[in-house]
Amino acid sequence: MSLLNSVQELEKKYRLTANQRALLISDGSTTTLLEAFTGQTVLVKGRSQSIVRADARLASELQVEPKSEVSKRIVHLVSGGSSEILAYAISYTPIERLSPALLHDVQRTDIPIGKILKMHKIESRREIKEIGFIRDTHFKEIFGSECGMYRTYLIIHQNAPLMKIEEYFPLRSDEHYESSVGHRSRDE
Amino acid sequence: MSLLNSVQELEKKYRLTANQRALLISDGSTTTLLEAFTGQTVLVKGRSQSIVRADARLASELQVEPKSEVSKRIVHLVSGGSSEILAYAISYTPIERLSPALLHDVQRTDIPIGKILKMHKIESRREIKEIGFIRDTHFKEIFGSECGMYRTYLIIHQNAPLMKIEEYFPLRSDEHYESSVGHRSRDE
């Protein structure tokens, strides 16, 4: 099924705007898209940065050995104009695939991933793995709404995943969404 | 100057929509963006396909010897729903950088470039070189308006340009645009 078909399936539950559809299926930089949509600079606000050990599932997704070291970075993408939080993103990067310079920039947490790739002239391709709706009480304090949409994708470089990224975007909490999407926890 | 700054400069002359800004500055697949914006499949209609010799300027842009063989492909991106022409695109690809399989798919002219890159799992990065407004009598029959916006970019693969692409998108022809953008021929 094409990504457009997946979006059309989602839209049977909840009608998306053109911009929301683009955020789910574009293979370009998310920050650049958000800058185009808002007409404002988008800032990256680091929430946390840590080195974790890949569990079996993450190791399989990243094509590394289980328990390999992975840089986990959580950021908010924030409008430079309104200070509104436009997206919440988690990236997982196997340490063994990063040059020291690249690791340094990933760990800084104030540079968008797209800009890091551009600065280091990294050639890559993006494989979108999943798109969908999600409801999470945790989003209430971030987006002002428990209702969101998400996508997960891999950034492939030299035939191996350089990063796995999860992105979450707000949706208006309304009756239609509530009844059609229902509640899920993020750990499901 | 960042791309967002360039867009903000353009918007002093003519106010763009969020979608138009994204078409100018996104580094993702144009076809995918148009599919997201229209909610419909976007089809590629080949207009012409030929092998040309690179003149000095094109050779310099593509980093090949002058008079090298280049595949020139002109296509319309057409809405699968309304049959409206959403974009007009010209791509230039040095033959010497294409595998036979890749050359075959480029010359078919009915597959979007983004899809060709995906099918062949090509890792690349996009360098946007120029964005702007343009007025061209030739657009009248394509878009129903002489007024358009354009961008040119390189797709870089293995540290060399794999393609140079020019894309043109329609703008509403209105008094504001007419007076602020003025007339230019496409060969300027």
- Interface predicted TM-score (ipTM): 0.90
Residue A114: inside a domain = yes
Q: What is the mean pLDDT of chain A?
A: 90
Pairing of strands B125-135, B147-157: antiparallel
Question: Model confidence over A97-127: pLDDT tens digits?
Answer: 999 999 999 888 899 999 999 999 999 999 9
Sorted by sequence, the CB contacts under 8 Å of residue A37 that are 6+ apart come out as A19, B18, B21, B22
Domain of A45: which CATH number?
A: 3.40.1410.10
Residue A116: inside a domain = yes
Question: Model confidence over A124-150: pLDDT tens digits?
Answer: 999 999 999 999 999 999 998 899 999
Residue B165: inside a domain = yes
Which of A8, A24, A25 would best serve as a mutation to test chain B binding (most B beta carbons within 10 A)?
A25
**Residue B37 and residue A26: Cβ atoms within 8 Å?**
no
Identify the segments of chain B with pLDDT beneath 70: 173-188
Q: Which residues in B1-32 are b (16+ Cβ under 10 Å) and which e? A: eebbebbbebeeebebebbbbbbbbbbbbbbb
Single pTM value for the model: 0.91
Average pLDDT over residues A78-83: 90
Owning domain of residue B135? 3-181
The C-alpha atoms of residue A99 and residue A104 are separated, in whole angstroms, by 9
Position B185 scores a pLDDT of 44
pLDDT at A87 over 60: yes
Residue B187: inside a domain = no
Beta bridge partners, B153, equal B128, B165
Q: Which residues of A touch B37 (CB under 8 A)?
A: 18, 21-22
Residue B58: inside a domain = yes
**Which among B28, B123, B158 is the nearest to A28, CB-wise?**
B28
Pairing of strands B125-135, B85-94: unpaired
Q: Which residues of A touch B157 (CB under 8 A)?
A: 123
Residue B175: inside a domain = yes
Residue B46: inside a domain = yes
pLDDT at A179 over 90: no
Position A188 scores a pLDDT of 37
Position B52 scores a pLDDT of 97
Residue A96: inside a domain = yes
Count of domains observed in chain A: 1
Q: Report helix angle A30-38 to A18-25, nearest 10.
A: 170
Task: Return the residue of A nearest to B37 by Cα.
Answer: A18
